Amino acid sequence: NSIKVFAPATVANVACGFDIFGLAVDNPGDEVILTRRNDSQICIQEITGDGGKLTKDPNKNTVTVPIIKYLESIGSNAGFDVVLHKKMALGSGLGSSSASAVAGVFAANELLGQPLKRKELLPFAMEGERVACGAAHADNVAPALLGGFVVVRSYSPLDVFQVPVPEDLFVSLIHPDVEVNTKDARHILKNEVSMNKAISQMGNVSGMIAGLMSSDYGLIGRSMVDFIIEPIRSILIPRFFEVKMAAMDAGALGCSISGAGPSIFAFSKGRETAEKVATAMKNEFETVNIQATTYVSTIN
């Protein structure tokens, strides 16, 4: 009557696909342990790794809000004890809140004998995202739930699909020790986009999908340009352009902000290059005394 679930970190936006592209990595990730109770209460028993920042109020925590919405929706009065082990920093741009949201609702569905299919859990996990940052975007929760590279084709109605990725495509992720609040990083964006930028962005979005599906690494790299979001958000990340240059010089196919930042990700062909890219990015941050954590991963 107890289950332990791992939910991975995710890179949202993936350069050109603001709010529509996301991918799951194999590390880091959060861990949730859910245990069935005899009553119908939802109790957060323990949270580790959050430095005491997260609330244990089940109506406000991203791990439990999706569970509560899910139970309401299926008409269940089940109760659970919840233990959450955070393995990545909050406000990191690594989809920290999404990982918790997905792990919680996935675990509850498993313990209740899978009344819903995996994909049907998505709207509930998105409610966790709304609690965390005010917007129920799906580009972190969808890949955390489904795995791989995911496209949110439409939000209303919700329509998501997975895109196959080339075997040798690796992700270097770096999390510098600076905090960027997702809410703030969304507020500074403009609501209007010029026709020219929209055209360029659509070209890159199409190029990315075609590149992934045909294992055309050059096309993937050329498509990793964001004309709309990165120019605005990069001002929130100290040394962003230097770090990006360092990644490109070390052989990356492309490099951009992971989610709302401050984490930065790069794509490379082959693990060896991806390791070099991660080291180059870390060294660049260290020149201005910013400590950073790196991860090298496949898209999983």
**Which residues lie near ligand HSE (CB under 6 A)?**
12-13, 18-19, 93, 95, 137, 139-140, 182, 185-186, 259-260
Give the residue with the Cβ less far from ligand HSE, 51 or 134: 134
Q: Which residues are annotated as a binding site?
A: 89-99
Least distance from C-beta 63 to ligand HSE, angstroms?
17
Least distance from C-beta 17 to ligand HSE, angstroms?
9
Largest CA distance in the chain: 59
Give the residue with the Cβ less far from ligand HSE, 182 or 201: 182
Q: Can you tell me the distance from the alpha carbon of 220 to that of 2, in angstroms, rounded to the nearest whole number?
A: 42
Q: Which residues are annotated as a binding site for ATP?
A: 89-99
Alpha-carbon torsion (231, 92, 277, 270), positive or negative? negative
Check if 129 is active-site. Answer: yes
SS3 for 178-216, per residue?
CCCCHHHHHHCCCCCCCHHHHHHHHHHHHHHHHHHHCCC
By the 10 Å C-beta count (0-12 exposed, 13-18 middle, 19+ buried), 66 is classed as: buried
Least distance from C-beta 93 to ligand HSE, angstroms?
6
The secondary structure of residue 38, as a DSSP letter, is S
Give the residue with the Cβ less far from ligand HSE, 90 or 292: 90
Q: Active site residue: 129, 273, 284, 294, which one?
A: 129
Give the residue with the Cβ less far from ligand HSE, 134 or 270: 134
Residue nearest to ligand HSE (CB): 259
Q: Where are the alpha helices (DSSP H) in the chain?
A: 65-74, 96-111, 122-133, 141-146, 182-187, 195-213, 217-222, 230-233, 240-249, 271-286
Q: Active site residue: 182, 273, 284, 294, which one?
A: 182
Least distance from C-beta 163 to ligand HSE, angstroms?
17
Instruction: Cite the active site residues.
Output: 129, 182
